Amino acid sequence: MGRAQYTIRRVLQAIPVLLGVVTITYFLMEAMPGDPVSIMLGPSPSAQQAAAIRAKYGLDQPVWLRYLNYLWDVVQLDLGTSLYYEVPVTQKIMERLPVTVLLLVSSFTFAIVTSIPLGIISAQRRNKPTDHVARIVALLGVSTPSFWIGLVLIILFAYQVNWFPATNLVLPWASPAQVGVDSQFDVIVTSLHHLVLPTLSLGTLQMAALTRIERSSMLEVLGEEYVKLARAYGVKETTILRKHAFRNAQLPLITLLGLQLTSAIGGAVLTETVFSINGMGTLIITAINNQDFALVVGTTLVLGMVFVVGVILTDLSYAYIDPRVTFEEAD
Higher pLDDT, 198 or 238: 198
3-class SS at 235? coil
Q: Which of 144, 125, 112, 127 is nearest to 213 (CA)?
A: 112
CB neighbour class for 264 (10 Å; exposed up to 12, middle 13-18, buried from 19): buried
Residue-level pLDDT at 42? 65
Looking at the chain, how many residues does it have? 331
Residues 205/196, Cβ–Cβ less than 8 Å:
no
Q: Which of 62, 119, 109 is nearest to 253 (CA)?
A: 119
Residue-level pLDDT at 249? 79
Average pLDDT over residues 298-304: 86
Residue 328 has pLDDT above 60, yes or no: no
Strand partners, 88: 81
- Can you list the alpha helix ranges (DSSP code H) found in the chain? 3-31, 36-41, 47-57, 63-75, 89-124, 129-143, 146-153, 176-179, 184-222, 225-232, 237-239, 251-274, 280-289, 293-321, 327-330
Of all residues in the chain, the percent with pLDDT exceeding 70 is 91
* CB count in 10 Å sphere of residue 15: 10
Query: Average pLDDT, whole number, for the chain?
Result: 82
Residue-level pLDDT at 288? 85
Q: Which pLDDT tens digit goes with each residue over 23-40?
A: 888 888 777 776 677 666
Q: What angle do CA 253, 122, 316 make, to 5 degrees?
A: 10
Average pLDDT over residues 79-90: 85
3-class SS at 81? strand
Contacts of residue 111, defined as CB under 8 A and 6 or more positions apart, other chains included, come to 203, 206, 207, 210, 260
Q: Which pLDDT tens digit goes with each residue over 174-213?
A: 888 887 888 888 889 888 999 999 999 988 888 888 888 8
**pTM exceeds cut of 0.85:** no
CB neighbour class for 276 (10 Å; exposed up to 12, middle 13-18, buried from 19): exposed
3-state helix, strand, coil in the chain (%, to 5): 75, 0, 20
Helical pair 63-75 and 3-31, crossing angle rounded to 10 deg: 150
Q: Which pLDDT tens digit goes with each residue over 266-276?
A: 888 888 888 88
Scored b (16 or more CB within 10 A) or e, 96-134 reads: bbebbebbbebbbebbbebbbebbbbbbbeeeeeebeeb
What gap in Å lies between CA 93 and CA 101, rounded to an integer?
Answer: 12
Q: How far is CA 66 from the centre of its chain?
A: 30
pLDDT category of residue 146 using cuts at 50, 70 and 90: confident
Q: How far is CA 81 from the centre of its chain?
A: 25
Residue-level pLDDT at 323? 60
